[in-house]
């Protein structure tokens, strides 16, 4: 069984999955996708299920703007990377 990746490792995997799906993206701090992922990570750190659900929906909305046909199954690398990132944030707990 492999150890839980750190938030930094999970972030790198998420970046790789995003660029694999959508090509080069502007991932500066003011971009809607970056804000949505940041909100998701923070909600996961705080174990706030309602906020996690809202942030997940926001991520989906933003990603849908990058692709007219966004059909991601549970085995998709992007879905796995988002899940891994959320789990890493949960394990890390609130930022101090």
- Domain assignment present for residue 35? The answer is yes
- Domain assignment present for residue 22? The answer is yes
- Domains: count for the chain: 1
- Domain assignment present for residue 2? The answer is no
Residue 14 has a pLDDT of: 94
**Which pTM does this prediction carry?**
0.86
Judge whether residue 86 has pLDDT over 50.
yes
Angle CA(54)–CA(59)–CA(65) in degrees, nearest 5? 130
- Domain assignment present for residue 84? The answer is yes
How far apart are alpha carbons 1 and 8 in whole angstroms? 20
Residue 8 has a pLDDT of: 94
- Domain assignment present for residue 62? The answer is yes
Residue 46 has a pLDDT of: 96
Q: Yes or no: say if 81 and 13 are a contact pair by the CB < 8 Å rule.
A: yes
Domain extent, residue 48, equals 7-92
């Amino acid at each position: 069984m492999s150890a839980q990746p750190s938030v930094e490792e999970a972030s790198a995997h998420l970046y790789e999955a995003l660029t694999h799906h959508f090509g080069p993206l502007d991932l500066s701090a003011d971009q809607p996708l970056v804000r949505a992922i940041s909100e998701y990570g923070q909600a996961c750190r705080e174990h706030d299920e309602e906020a996690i659900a809202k942030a997940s929906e926001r991520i989906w909305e933003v990603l849908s703007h990058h692709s007219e046909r966004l059909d991601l199954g549970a085995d998709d690398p992007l879905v796995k990377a988002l899940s891994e990132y959320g789990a890493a944030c949960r394990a890390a707990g609130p930022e101090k």
